Amino acid sequence: MNVLIKQAKIICPKSSFHHKTVDVLIENGIITQIKKEITAKDVKTIEEKGLMLSIGWLDMQANFCDPGFEHKEDLESGLKAAAAGGFTAVCVVSGTNPPLHNKAQIEYVINRAKNNLVNVYPIGTLSQNQEGKDLSEMYDMKLAGAVAYSDYKTPVQDAGLILRALQYSENINSFIITHCDDKSISHGGQMNEGEAQTSLGLKGIPALAEEIMLQRNISVLEYAGGKLHIPTISTKGSVELIKKAKANGLQITCGIAAHNLLLDDSSLADFDTNYKVNPPLRSKKDVEAVRKALENGIIDVVVSDHRPQDIECKDLEFDLADNGIIALQTAFASANTALKGEAENLIEALTSNPYKILGLELPKIEEGEKANLTLFTTNGETNLNEKEILSKSKNTPFAGKALQGKVVGTVNNNKGYWN
């Protein structure tokens, strides 16, 4: 694959071309030239007003529903949506049927995703069958290719299991990811507890449900050691807890779903189930707090939290509908809209930070290096219509709505995708 990228501003602090506007020539998947101006024949030329270029983005939380729920999404459709959304790497979660809890299932995902533009990194379960009782086969899954361990959206209620998981994962040079939600507090909740929830008459999910579980997990981490990642925080209180834990020297990182940076609980005024997510859309004060936390480096990564649901799971009364939205194709634009086009922190949260957390080698934007790149603009527009949705499911609140920022294309593994 031969591509000439014209007049792109490089956003990559580790590159010698950082903040420079240059032409980039890619031949057979390798960056062969980076110069102020390049002329080449018989190549695909990419030009776009305000074009920017970074290393390929990595999404640390996406559910491809494969195996078991392929009618909602499968690896093939999920990878297409990821490439269109600017991602050249995705961590696929264990929320499948059966969950990814042994070596064979990790190998299944890796083998199904081979020879694709998007690199796939499976996350194995923390507990066997995600039942929260016994540790999963962590070491076997690591040998098969699992990058971390998590029970996805099922919070681990047993503190002792978290303790043992932290200790064991540290011994095998890995880490655990755990969703924070005390079900004894949030049980039956439909949306964030607050003024909006009271006016709608729905049962609320207090911020306390997230924060008390987060505090417990931080306390266990302080005792046990190891490395802990919280995939999606959503409240001001959670930001303060993470900030304090980091200041105390604990190995803790966290992420946020792109839509939780942009939307607040007032979006649910019309009972649209496409806004029903977990963690729920929080208050305006919470949204402002998490935006500032991302800008200040307290929140490390931005994830799509891509969670496809078919029409039978979403076209229901609000209290019966399942949580989740498809978000791979809109994650960048929704986060960029929330941050008003301030690209630096967002790109760091999509590139260097997730690579560092996962212990993966960071791609480079230098001559002679393999091309693993995302092309985008912060001032363009994403207006996704239903025909452009590449996921099998259509559960998005952003269909037909203009967002600031546009993914122009992705390049990786000698393959390219162009929007």
CATH number of the domain encompassing residue 320: 3.20.20.140
Closest C-alpha to 94, from 56, 143, 138: 138
Q: What is the pLDDT of residue 341?
A: 80
pLDDT digits (tens, 9 = 90+) for 202-214: 999 999 999 999 9
Tell whether 328 and 408 lie within a shared domain: no
**What does each C-alpha distance from 32 to 105, 165, 269, 383 come to in angstroms?**
38, 45, 53, 34
Task: State which residues form the domain around 14.
Answer: 3-52+368-418
pLDDT at 244 over 90: yes
**Total domains, the chain:** 2
Residues marked active site are found at 305
Examine the domain organization and report whether 280 and 161 are in the same domain.
Answer: yes
pLDDT digits (tens, 9 = 90+) for 334-365: 999 999 988 899 999 999 999 999 999 999 99
At 342 the pLDDT is 85
Identify the CATH number of the domain in which residue 15 sits. 2.30.40.10
Distance CA 411, CA 3 (A): 9
Q: Is residue 202 part of a domain?
A: yes
Rounded Cα distance between 40 and 33, Å, is: 11
Asked if 93 and 201 sit in the same domain, the reply is: yes
Residue 156 shares a structural domain with residue 43: no
Q: Are residues 70 and 154 in the same domain?
A: yes
Q: Please state, in angstroms and rounded to a whole number, the distance separating the CA atoms of residues 310 and 222.
A: 41
- pLDDT above 90: residue 100: yes
- Burial of residue 42, with CB atoms counted within 10 A of its CB: 0-12 exposed, 13-18 middle, 19 or more buried: exposed
Residues 48 and 73 in one domain: no
- When pLDDT is cut at 50, 70 and 90, the band that residue 234 belongs to is very high
Whether residues 29 and 150 share a domain: the answer is: no
Burial 296-321 (b: 16+ CB within 10 A, else e): eebbbbbbbbbbbbbeebbeeebeeb
Per-residue pLDDT band at 171 (split at 50, 70, 90): very high
What confidence score (pLDDT) does residue 115 get? 95
CA distances from residue 213 to 24, 180, 184, 227, 346 in whole angstroms, order as listed: 47, 5, 11, 17, 27
Position 304 scores a pLDDT of 98
pLDDT at residue 311 tops 90: yes
Residues 13 and 141 in one domain: no
Query: 395 in helix, strand or coil?
Result: coil
Output the pLDDT for position 415.
Answer: 97
- Rounded Cα distance between 135 and 248, Å, is 28
The answer on 315 and 386 residing in a single domain is: no
pLDDT at 285: 98
Looking at the structure, do residues 147 and 195 belong to the same domain, yes or no?
yes
Q: Are residues 346 and 227 in the same domain?
A: yes
Asked if 35 and 160 sit in the same domain, the reply is no
363 belongs to a structural domain: no
Domain boundary among 358, 378, 404: 358
Q: How far apart are CA 324 and CA 365, in angstroms?
A: 35
pLDDT tens-digit map of 248-257: 999 999 999 9
